[in-house]
Structure 1
Amino acid sequence: MKNILLAVTGGIAAYKAIDLTSKLTQAGYQVRVMMTKHAQQFVTPLSFQAISRHPVYTDTFVEENPAEIQHIALGDWADAIIVAPATANTISKLAHGFADDMVTSTLLASTKPKFIAPAMNVHMYENPRTQQNMRILEEDGYHFIEPGEGFLACGYVAKGRMAEPMDIVLAVEQRIQTNDKQNVRHESSYFKGQRVLITAGPTVEVIDPVRYVSNRASGKMGYALAEALVDIGAEVTLISGPTSLASPEGVHFVSVQSAEEMFEAVKSYYQNMDIVFKTAAVSDYTPISPLAHKMKKQDGNVTVEFKRTVDILKYLGEQKTHQKLVGFAAETQNVAMYAQDKLQRKNADVIIANNVGDTSIGFSSEENEVTMYFKNGKAVSIPKSAKIEVARQILSALVGEWE
């Protein structure tokens, strides 16, 4: 699923942006809408909120989440931004770098693909200054969706009508698909033939033949990475604790149960690997003396003594020679602080952190939202998406830093 940020500016065609929001949503996109003050003279934010099922952003200085700057976060969240309708005024401000409202501030701050669907009087559209402004934006990488000819609000029958919503959807989809193919080719050229080791899932630490200690890890993120890497030509070994997932096609699959078994399996493959993704949630402690028979119920409390398991990520960091080492940090608080500390202590190249306290992106969810912390101090945020899409974006970010 792709994230589309729709910017609605102050033209009569703003009413068509409601239909555009609906068609994008029906096509499977996550849509968020921002509006200029003038756009609100034609349509209300509530109309877009009802269709997109997200808040509508209208004011740069209204920050719903104090942990982020809204116009920066929105630009990062989006896979593409559409300005529809785009007035001559907004086109002019964008061409000359103005950032005096929510729309222009977000567009100026975002590096994502941007689409402009102009809508205005024919003379305004053909004015040399407007044409020059559009050329400036095209040179900056903006994609224009040509207006159509027909009856305009001013009474003219001429060019200037905003493109029909379905035509805008198709134009954006075509561009996104082209970019995706280019990205896949780019990633494939990097990962093809690379020997990649992935650990996934939980481990199980036996107390007796009936009872054990484990955790909530589902293995879905690790399996998604394995699938994404196989798709672009990597040679993948997946070492997995117990999960309900089927092994992705094309991987060399190794099944383990305990932290000790996972450690021994990782050690046996490590030296021959180029890249390691340690996504598994390995138990930190294991019973010192597992019982041979079922522990019987008795009065009072019972104590089971545990010992520390091997810190696999730390071991890999100490032993690495040529390998790239990517660790994961599942946290419930102080996510950035703990992830950056882990990056240094474990001698990893990247730590990918997520907040498992958020049940919508927790262990068993179908979606994830992560931040990647690199050794050079760079942080890359990947917005909430299906885990296979997050996996692909992780690979894309790695290529961007490692190539």
Structure 2
Amino acid sequence: MQVHPARPRILLGVTGGIAAYKAAELVRRLRAMGAEVQVVMTKAATRFVTPWTLQALSGRPVRTRLWDQTAEAAMGHIELARWAERVVIAPASADFLAKLRAGLADDLLSTLCLATEAPIAVAPAMNRRMWRHPATQENLAVLKKRGVQVWGPATGAQACGETGPGRMLEAAELCERIRAWLRPGPLNGKRVLITAGPTREAIDPVRFLSNRSSGKMGYALAQAAAEAGAQVVLVSGPTALAPPPVAELVRVESAKEMYEAVMARVENTAIFIAAAAVADYTPAVVQPHKIKKETEWLHLELVKTQDILAEVARRPKRPFTVGFAAETERLEEHARAKLERKGLDMIAANKVGKGVGFEVDENCLWVLWPGGARRLPLASKLTLARQLVALIAERYAAKNSAKDSR
């Protein structure tokens, strides 16, 4: 669908939940960025915020009923479905997500979602237990496979007095995501494969070897690549992070599982970003039962894991390959050596240690490639990720342009 960049037409669906009050600020911000906004509310949503408020902010009559005699005389719900260039449901309740997954059309908003050809995004908002319920997670998995963007939720204090995942993203962040969604990104349509988080190498059924990686940088890169228009596949080790808006999320534990997941998906990938902190060694033997504390010394024999990054870089038709180097000393020297040794297209290096690199929200990067380098100064990991993805897109385009000119 062709989007009008100057005056994009956004249909904002508001469903029932306390987070409906945030829709007012979202409408205000969308109008400020030049969008036309048509609000459609469910009956439950009108119990939390009045249609008059959103009508005043949007400058358009708010639609609430499927069987509106005046509008439906001309099949108004079909006209609205055709009018929309993007559909955003914010907040999206657990009930509405279930409806959307099942394809129900028993009110105006669900009917519009079924009738429109416009891309759809949802910003979930619900109690943390409702969010974590297997039914909700299954519904979301199906919606993602259909191409629905899932933005959030955030983690924090909830109106019910509990704390956890389920808060709707703030209007400012949603507006930025919509802005990025509307414009063709530098990686538009490109398949990008990203690894994130640590791996766990089992010693026995209850113990494992791992590292301090939180997965935050890899998840931020997945979000940034999706914002840049890429079709993102994220292979993630164990983390406590909410999934970013990706086409496919593959959860793994061990280095072996991560290797297998990457190799099964690397074909036809344009860009591979190895942000995961994969274990270099794994126990040679995994004990079938819990090891008892019976001796003064315990000896573990470790063997090297498969080098995922080097394996991808060696492929005959390899993707543009980006590695990471986490170092405690001689950062640029070690990173440059790794770049050359593994034949990478680019490497992003950062220092790690107490309070640096791992388990923090900010970082800085030294990015190297054959014949060039750039320093990305201290910033939030999401800001850094957006800068790095822009640089990757730039170098990827330069490499392909050089190929085409030969």
Normalising by structure 2, we get a TM-score of: 0.52
Supply the AA of the counterpart residue of 1:327: G
Contact 1:207 1:287 in 2 (8 A): yes
2:384 aligned partner: 390
1:262 aligns with 2:232: no
- Listed one character per residue, the Cα deviations across residues 193-242 of structure 1 (whole Å, up to 9, x for unaligned) are 00000000000000001111000011000000111111222100000000
Contact 1:187 1:396 in 2 (8 A): no
Seq. identity, % = 43
3-state DSSP class of the match of 1:265?
helix
Contact 1:226 1:251 in 2 (8 A): no
Contact 1:191 1:234 in 2 (8 A): yes
Contact 1:324 1:349 in 2 (8 A): yes
1:175 aligned partner: none
1:275 aligns with 2:271: yes
- Listed one character per residue, the Cα deviations across residues 257-285 of structure 1 (whole Å, up to 9, x for unaligned) are 00000000010001121100000000011
1:243 aligns with 2:236: no
1:338 aligns with 2:334: yes
CA distance in 1 between counterparts of 2:293 and 2:181 reads 60
One of 342, 360, 365 as aligned partner of 1:365: 360
Aligned-residue offset at 1:247: 0.9
Q: 1:340 to 1:187 in 2, by over 3 A?
A: farther
Supply the AA of the counterpart residue of 1:215: N
One of 365, 372, 375 as aligned partner of 1:378: 372
Aligned-residue offset at 1:304: 1.0
Aligned-residue offset at 1:188: 4.1
CA distance in 2 between counterparts of 1:328 and 1:343 reads 9
Contact 2:186 2:229 in 1 (8 A): no
CA distance in 1 between counterparts of 2:277 and 2:190 reads 24
Contact 1:187 1:399 in 2 (8 A): no
Bigger Cα Rg: 1
- After TM superposition, list the pairs within 5 Å mapping 1:192-207 onto structure 2: 192-207=188-203
1:253 aligned partner: 249
Aligned-residue offset at 1:190: 2.4
1:312 aligns with 2:292: no
Supply the AA of the counterpart residue of 1:332: T
CA distance in 2 between counterparts of 1:243 and 1:261 reads 15
CA distance in 2 between counterparts of 1:399 and 1:269 reads 20
Aligned-residue offset at 1:340: 0.4
Aligned-residue offset at 1:185: 9.6
1:350 aligned partner: 346
- Listed one character per residue, the Cα deviations across residues 368-394 of structure 1 (whole Å, up to 9, x for unaligned) are 10011012x211100000001001111
Farther-moved stretch of structure 1 (316-325 vs 218-227): 316-325
CA distance in 1 between counterparts of 2:182 and 2:346 reads 20
CA distance in 2 between counterparts of 1:191 and 1:307 reads 38
CA distance in 1 between counterparts of 2:239 and 2:300 reads 25
Q: 1:345 to 1:258 in 2, by over 3 A?
A: same
1:303 aligns with 2:292: no
Contact 1:380 1:397 in 2 (8 A): no
Supply the AA of the counterpart residue of 1:224: A
- Listed one character per residue, the Cα deviations across residues 16-75 of structure 1 (whole Å, up to 9, x for unaligned) are xxxxxxxxxxxxxxxxxxxxxxxxxxxxxxxxxxxxxxxxxxxxxxxxxxxxxxxxxxxx
Q: 1:352 to 1:187 in 2, by over 3 A?
A: farther
2:222 aligned partner: 226
Aligned-residue offset at 1:319: 1.0
Contact 2:312 2:318 in 1 (8 A): no
Aligned-residue offset at 1:320: 4.8
Supply the AA of the counterpart residue of 1:347: G
Normalising by structure 1, we get a TM-score of: 0.52
Note the aligned Cα RMSD (angstroms): 2.1
Supply the AA of the counterpart residue of 1:366: D
Aligned residues: 221
Contact 1:202 1:218 in 2 (8 A): yes
CA distance in 1 between counterparts of 2:209 and 2:282 reads 8
